[in-house]
Amino acid sequence: MALGKIKADTLEHSTAGSLDTSYVVNGSAKAWGRVSLGGQTLKSSLNVSGITDIGVGQTQWTLVSSFSDSDYNPVVSSDNSSGANPARFGGRDSSQATGSYRGICSTTNNGETDGSLFSCAFGDLA
Amino acid sequence: MINTPSFQGTHLWDRLCWAKENLESHQSDYRVVYEDSVDECAKILVPDPNWMACALQGGILPPVEVYWMLAQDEAQPDFKKHTRGYLLHNSKPIEAMTEEQAIEYLIMKDVPQSVWRDYDSGNKPKMVICRKEQLPGTREWRNAWKISEDIKATEQAA
């Protein structure tokens, strides 16, 4: 394969100490995706095959390379850039499989609402 | 057009990183509308632009049957962890697809089998492939959206 490769178990700084590269490998996000719910478009992403608009404020991300188990950690957030009042926030829905997870955009008093959702997921891949 | 390296045996995630570096993303206008529960509104599947680039390029994505096998494993009551993840990485990658073939692949991967296996056998289709502009222009009453009763599954997209 024509990919360059550096193999190392440890990164060492001249004064600040050393770090096992497994921290880097295991600690990196394995998937991410930014969704504009109003336009139903997926912008910046990695390891996502598609999103599913499930209803108002609800999105499912489906993965290309699945996680090894369903105990991985998706993080979902929203924004308030359009001046929405009350403020929007994003959260993970409880339904989660090794190859997909869901996020919800909500407001503090109106429940689910359409808005941008940003997500990334951490864990071990299958 | 850039040549795809020989990826069989390479971790699928590494292939996706290569694709993100080297391929132009492709924003598809196709949407898949489906209903998998009478109690819920219609769902809309949107293809990922980076994934679509991989599908059009060829030599990156695993055969869709691999996802079915992993889903079968996960459906077992005693499932804890995937033990056949190597299928994703070691199976021979599929060749380049057209955009339409890629949508069919995506349906078989991401839409429940109960929907696409017999999507046109009931009183109305459970699934429709359309273009983005054929969806309602606003999100009004989104939680009540259903596939139209009088739509034909074979109708040509505008």
- Name the residue ranges covered by the structural domains of chain A: 30-122
Contact between residue B44 and residue B142 where contact means Cβ atoms under 8 Å apart: no
pLDDT tens digit sequence for B40-84: 999 999 999 999 999 999 999 999 999 999 999 999 999 999 999
Q: How distant is the Cα of A49 from the closest Cα of chain B, in angstroms? A: 5
Is B131 in CB contact (< 8 Å) with chain A?
Answer: no
Phi-psi region of B44 (alpha: psi -120 to 50; beta: other; left: phi over 0): beta
Strand partners, A61: A51, A101
Contact between residue A3 and residue B4 where contact means Cβ atoms under 8 Å apart: no
Q: Are B106 and A1 inside 8 Å of each other by CB?
A: no
| Distance separating alpha carbons of residues B10 and B88, to the nearest angstrom | 9
Q: Are B51 and A50 inside 8 Å of each other by CB?
A: yes
Query: Has the ipTM of the complex gone over 0.90?
Result: yes
Q: Are strands A100-107 and A88-97 parallel, antiparallel or unpaired?
A: antiparallel
- The per-residue DSSP string of B12-78 comes to HHHHHHHHHHHS------EEEEE-S-TTSPPEEEEE-HHHHHHHHH-SSSPPHHHHHHHHHHHTSTT
Tens-digit pLDDT string for chain A (126 aa):
556 778 888 888 888 888 888 777 778 999 999 998 665 788 889 999 999 999 999 999 999 999 999 999 999 998 876 666 666 777 777 779 999 999 988 887 768 888 889 999 999 999
Could you tell me the pTM of the whole model?
A: 0.91
Is A125 in CB contact (< 8 Å) with chain B?
Answer: yes
Is A72 in CB contact (< 8 Å) with chain B?
Answer: no
For B3-33, b where at least 16 C-beta lie within 10 A, e where not — what string? ebeebeebbbbebbebbbeebebbebebbbb
**Crossing angle, helix B49-57 and helix B12-22, to 10 degrees?**
100
pLDDT at residue number B157: 44
CA atoms within 13 A of residue B144's CA, in its CB half-sphere: 3
The Cα-based distances of B22 to A63, A82, B8, B43 in angstroms read: 20, 33, 18, 32
Residue type, B37: S
Altogether, the residues listed in chain B come to a count of 158
**Average of per-residue pLDDT values in chain B:** 93
